[in-house]
């Protein structure tokens, strides 16, 4: 993978596939947090100590020990531009925290970008695996294999009673965050979303926006993830998320059927209006773009609109982000200029 490939393609290769329930579940993700017993947590480590951690963990990739899981390349954050780091965040390949703190930080990416291994983020090691559609168990299987490879080379911080030790107490125990990104426009339109999401939080799950904790939900995209990492096994965490997500999928399908039965003309009008605006507008902010892209995605799934695919909509959700816009047009852009360029880019993609 060339140094700039991740910044040149809006969709990672894994996103081009069609996973189970992909009309509702955009992606499934597993993230595993680990730390080395021999070094302080990143926030307390000296520059020399964090450098030692980076060298030890990147050696696992450079030695070829990950080769059975694919081809990998390591990028040191200090050697990437601010724009390249921002693009990595927009593609969900690194966290905003790692992008903003590049001191001896690194990311190890697989060729198809389905595996992203962050070094010296909030924890020494964060293994992230992404799959298209509803494949949370498959993502866990891959993440667990990669975790085993690193555990052979590193002495993890582990307590017999508490489990894996992490920088943030909310990750202590298994160190696992399992999540699914879901597109739930029908539940929003039928005003059921608050009731559903309130019930989700009652069973130990969290609801966030598309960029995780603290981010706003745009385009009817919701990230559902576990909150509990201590006191449950990995299998229990995965099974609980799987069961709840399956129920949300069924509720969204029922809501879509209700819309088609009771309000098909209104929904079709909404979908086609959004398509008309996106294909003709000269100025478009990110919030409006996300909402109208959501409308078109719903129209595609309901068979109301042809000539455009969900993959194009996925591309637009990444392309319209500030970092990628500036990468595409090759220049810094003010907020107003971004709104103009965003509209231009969307028009070209749709036509």
Q: Binding site: what residues are annotated?
A: 27-31, 92, 126, 177-181, 208-213
Q: Rounded CA gap, 124 and 119, in Å?
A: 5
Provide the β-strand partners of residue 29.
130, 179
The closest alpha carbon to 181, from 152, 207, 216, belongs to 207
Say how many C-beta atoms besides its own lie within 10 A of residue 262's C-beta: 10
CA of 46: how far to CAs of 95, 103, 124, 292, 306, in Å? Answer: 21, 10, 13, 47, 56
Determine the straight-line distance between the first and last CA of the chain, rounded to whole angstroms.
30
Q: Which helix (H) or strand (E) holds 155?
A: none
Q: Rounded CA gap, 259 and 183, in Å?
A: 16
Is the Cα dihedral 93, 70, 42, 157 positive or negative? positive
Q: Which residues are annotated as a binding site for ATP?
A: 27-31, 92, 126, 177-181, 208-213
The closest alpha carbon to 325, from 296, 276, 292, 286, belongs to 286
Q: Rounded CA gap, 184 and 195, in Å?
A: 13
Q: Is 1 helix (H, G, I), strand (E, B) or coil?
A: coil
The closest alpha carbon to 214, from 95, 325, 83, 85, belongs to 95
């Amino acid at each position: 993978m060339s140094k700039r490939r991740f910044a040149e393609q809006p969709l990672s290769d894994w996103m081009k596939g069609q996973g189970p329930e992909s009309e509702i579940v955009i992606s499934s993700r597993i993230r595993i947090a680990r730390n080395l017993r021999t070094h302080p947590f990143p926030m307390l480590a000296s520059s020399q100590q964090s450098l030692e951690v980076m060298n030890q963990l990147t050696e696992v990739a450079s030695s070829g020990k990950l080769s059975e899981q694919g081809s990998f390349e390591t990028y040191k954050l200090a050697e990437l531009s601010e724009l390249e780091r921002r693009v990595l965040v927009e593609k969900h390949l690194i966290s905003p925290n790692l992008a903003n703190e590049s001191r001896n930080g690194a990311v190890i990416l697989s060729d198809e970008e389905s595996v992203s291994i962050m070094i010296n983020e909030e924890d020494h090691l964060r293994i992230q695996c992404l799959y298209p559609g509803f494949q949370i168990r498959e993502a866990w299987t891959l993440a667990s294999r990669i975790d085993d490879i690193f555990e052979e080379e590193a002495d993890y911080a582990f307590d017999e009673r508490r489990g894996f030790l992490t920088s943030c107490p909310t990750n202590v125990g298994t160190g696992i965050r399992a999540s699914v990104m879901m597109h739930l426009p029908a539940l929003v339109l039928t005003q059921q979303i608050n009731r559903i999401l309130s019930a989700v939080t009652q069973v130990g799950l969290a609801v966030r926006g598309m960029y995780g904790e603290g981010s706003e939900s745009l385009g009817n995209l919701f990230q559902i993830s576990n909150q509990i990492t201590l006191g449950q096994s990995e299998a229990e965490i995965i099974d609980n998320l799987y069961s709840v997500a399956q129920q949300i999928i069924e509720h969204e399908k029922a809501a879509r059927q209700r819309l088609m039965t009771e309000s098909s003309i209104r929904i079709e009008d909404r979908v086609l209006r959004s398509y008309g605006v996106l294909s003709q507008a000269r100025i478009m902010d990110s919030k409006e773009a996300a909402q109208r892209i959501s409308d078109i995605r719903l129209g595609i799934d309901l068979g109301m609109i042809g000539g455009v695919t969900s993959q194009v909509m996925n591309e637009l959700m990444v392309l319209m982000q500030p970092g990628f816009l500036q990468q595409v047009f090759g220049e810094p852009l003010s907020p107003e200029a971004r709104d103009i360029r965003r509209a231009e880019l969307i028009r070209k993609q749709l036509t």
